[in-house]
Amino acid sequence: MRAVFFDLDGTLLDTLPDLCACVNTILRKYGDREATLSEVRAAVGNGARKLMERVLPEGAPIEARLSEFRSIYAENSCVNTQVYEGARECLSALRQKGLKLAVITNKPHEATVKVLKKFFSQDMFDFIAGDSGDFPVKPDPALTRYAALTLRVSPAETLFVGDGETDLLTAKNAGMCPLSALWGYRTKEQLFAAGAREFAERFEDILKYV
């Protein structure tokens, strides 16, 4: 391995409380039933648009609500978000080994930069990309391959760590080695059913795998 690419939500950071709070801000505003934490957990993974499509009632104007969500979340993305235990130590150890590090997420790019700036040092990652509209969202591999090209690493020499089915598919589509994190928003059974065969129960397992 010459590089390790990470998903963000459910992989490096537990962002679910803030995502749920912002979703419910929208739902309350229009008199809709609020979503539970479990419902939002099941809805995340494919970007803000899919999240809103999954939690909004049928017939709600997606574009308008999506725009509101992006604005609200950009201002409230770090209220109750927490870094997972062991994440910083793992990233530092990987850097010491000389590996390139990247974050590839379907989270809106502005919010991605904001939360990473709060929880990690500025020089931790060699490449950071959220959903800016310039590339299709994961599991499309275009952005992930672009990151590898930018960092001058072969996809076959890159480990992709993520907690969801989307990350597993992204790794496979990009020709990278997938490693499924079990501390995030999907169970081992869900990931296995999606095709996952390599798992990390804790961040130390990433170092062992590398």
- Residues 79-129 pLDDT 10s: 999 999 999 999 999 999 999 999 999 999 999 999 999 999 989 999 999
CA-closest candidate to residue 65, choices 53, 76, 74: 53
pLDDT confidence of residue 206: 98
Active-site annotation, residues: 7
- Residues 176-189 pLDDT 10s: 999 999 999 999 99
To the nearest 10 degrees (0 to 180), the angle between helices 16-29 and 48-55 is: 50
Kindly report the CA angle at 152 between 110 and 117, in degrees rounded to 5? 25
pLDDT confidence of residue 165: 97
pTM of the model: 0.95
Domains of the chain, first to last: 3-14+82-209 (3.40.50.1000), 16-75 (1.10.150)
Average pLDDT of the chain? Answer: 96
